[in-house]
Amino acid sequence: MTAQSSNTNAETIAQVAKQAFETSQLLAPSERINALHSIRSELESRRDAILAANREDLKVAQAEVDAGRMSKSLLARLDLGRGDKWDSMLQGVLDVASLPDPTGTVLYATELDDGLELYRVSCPIGVLLVIFEARPEVVVNIAALAIKSGNAAILKGGKESNRTAKLLSEAIQAGLANTDIPTTYIQTIETRAEVSSLLAMDQYIDLVIPRGSKELVKNIQHNTRISVMGHADGLCSIYLDESADVEKAKRVVVDAKIDYPSACNALETLIVHESLLKTVWPEVARALLAAKVELLCDEITLKALSSMQNPPQNLPTLVKPSEPSTYDIEHLSLTLSVIVLPSLQSAIKFINQHGSGHTDAIITESDTSASTFCRGVDSASTFVNASTRFADGFRYGYGTEVGISTGRIHARGPVGLEGLVIYKYMMKSRDKAGHIVGEFGSGKKSYKHQRIEASFVPF
């Protein structure tokens, strides 16, 4: 495909997405719910074919890993048949369908004058361009959220999941075909050239959401005028406070590291209070080594492990010295950076300097320390005695998520339905002659600005 033909094709995709969005705005919200149930049925009926395509994608991806051209963490994200991922994906569609409609809600209402009412009302953003790597279930997750929130979407997955994404997209469009929502409401593209063209089409695309590596996110941010929502890294930390309970620490830290190491909410850095070097830290390290986690330790935490009683047999192979750059790395594997610090305040400073603003946690029995940590750490999510793996739209009760935002915009943390709506203002005059601004001012009428209690617009 030539650059010109790619640009033409991309513009057609963007145009019909915009048209589909505009058409959908006059449909009843119930039609969006019908669409989601229809899509879920289509996905279930095509399960065997979709998982077969996913196995083909995995086979090709494994060859890329063996050749050193793909990371193991990327391969892990590609597997749609892993654990309960398929069932969770389908349940996510139903969960989103059952959530309250985020559009049409009155956020603020006031009477400016007798018979002149102003309403601020939630509404969809418009057309979303979502670019992600590897995880094929993202096609369904984002399609569900986009449909429920009234947004059209153009989706671009990684080439490593093309076979799976193609069949998922066909199932989604088949589901839409059973409703009044245009089938072009959710579209997928396959080439980087199309992405490059779409990033320049701010007349059609309203928001870009990248999900993937730091390089992917940064590249998109630097190559578009369109607003971008997302995060570049998932450098999540846990701080073991001086009052940390050893059993609680072991349980939470191990879960945060091993539950899904390649996820952006997995633990990457463990910070140990200096008072725990001979008590809690060795026991936490023992639990991590039992789970075959490689520990990159600073000099002090490394020395503390060298004097362990009955050290694990794999300690010499899995415990290694860290380097200064270690604490700026998102490992996405069974590798954990470890450092000792003298105080809660120094831990907060360290996290704000080296973290990515995603999710960080403290293990403590002190309410004062918990409060200080949660308010001092400048991250989208801050937890007390809970695994960083809880930072997820499904677990937060959003049904699923469109991604994680660490930016300072209207949406932060796991972004569900509420993060995919903005608002507009609606005004209506009930005066027989209508209202004009010229009637207000010095020596004329004054504005009432009397609040109206309303949950929906009465016209």
What pLDDT does residue 419 have?
92
User: Is the pLDDT assigned to residue 318 strictly greater than 90?
Assistant: yes
User: What percent of the chain is predicted at pLDDT more than 70?
Assistant: 99
CA distance 160 to 75: 9
Which tokens hold the place of 457?
């617009």
> How much is the average pLDDT of 118-141?
93
Q: How confident is the model at residue 253 (pLDDT cuts 50, 70, 90)?
A: very high
CA distance 112 to 34: 39
Q: Please list, residue by residue across 321-350, b when 16 or more beta carbons sit within 10 angstroms of its beta carbon and e when fewer do.
A: ebeeebbebbbbbbbbbbbbbeebeebbeb
Cβ contact 320:301 at 8 Å? no
> How much is the average pLDDT of 7-35?
95
Task: Convert the chain into a string of H (helix), E (strand) and C (coil).
Answer: CCHHHHHHHHHHHHHHHHHHHHHHCCCCHHHHHHHHHHHHHHHHHCHHHHHHHHHHHHHHHHHHHHCCCCCHHHHHHHCCCCCCHHHHHHHHHHHHHHCCCCCCCEEEEEEEECCEEEEEEEEECCEEEEEECCCCHHHHHHHHHHHHHCCEEEEECCHHHHHHHHHHHHHHHHHHCCCCCCHHHEEEECCHHHHHHHCCCCCCCCEEEEECCHHHHHHHHCCCCCCECCCCCCCEEEEECCCCCHHHHHHHHHHHHHCCCCCCCCEEEEEEEHHHCCCHHHHHHHHHHHCCCEEEECHHHHHHHHCCCCCCCCHHHHEEECCHHHHHCCCCCCEEEEEEECCHHHHHHHHHHHCCCCEEEEECCCHHHHHHHHHHCCCCEEEECCCHHHCCCCCCCCCCCCEEECCCCCCCEEECHHHHEEEEEEEEECCCCCCCHHHECCCCECCCCEECCCCCCCC
User: Is the pLDDT assigned to residue 328 strictly greater than 70?
Assistant: yes
User: Is the pLDDT assigned to residue 115 strictly greater than 60?
Assistant: yes
What pLDDT does residue 6 have?
61
Q: How confident is the model at residue 4 (pLDDT cuts 50, 70, 90)?
A: low
> How much is the average pLDDT of 56-63?
95
Q: What is the pTM of this model?
A: 0.82
> How much is the average pLDDT of 258-263?
93
Q: How confident is the model at residue 455 (pLDDT cuts 50, 70, 90)?
A: very high
Mean pLDDT check: name the lowest of 104-113, 206-215, 298-307, 373-382: 206-215
What pLDDT does residue 216 have?
84
Q: How confident is the model at residue 3 (pLDDT cuts 50, 70, 90)?
A: low
Looking at every residue in the chain, the average pLDDT score rounds to 94
What pLDDT does residue 408 have?
76
Which tokens hold the place of 5?
């033909």
What pLDDT does residue 2 have?
55
> How much is the average pLDDT of 178-185?
97
Q: How confident is the model at residue 25 (pLDDT cuts 50, 70, 90)?
A: very high
Cβ contact 272:338 at 8 Å? yes
What pLDDT does residue 218 have?
87
User: Is the pLDDT assigned to residue 410 strictly greater than 90?
Assistant: no
User: What percent of the chain is predicted at pLDDT more than 90?
Assistant: 84
CA distance 6 to 12: 10
User: Is the pLDDT assigned to residue 237 strictly greater than 90?
Assistant: yes
pLDDT in tens, 62-95: 999 999 998 887 888 899 998 999 999 999 999 9
> How much is the average pLDDT of 419-432?
96
> How much is the average pLDDT of 333-346?
98
What pLDDT does residue 393 have?
86
User: Is the pLDDT assigned to residue 281 strictly greater than 60?
Assistant: yes
What pLDDT does residue 90 have?
95
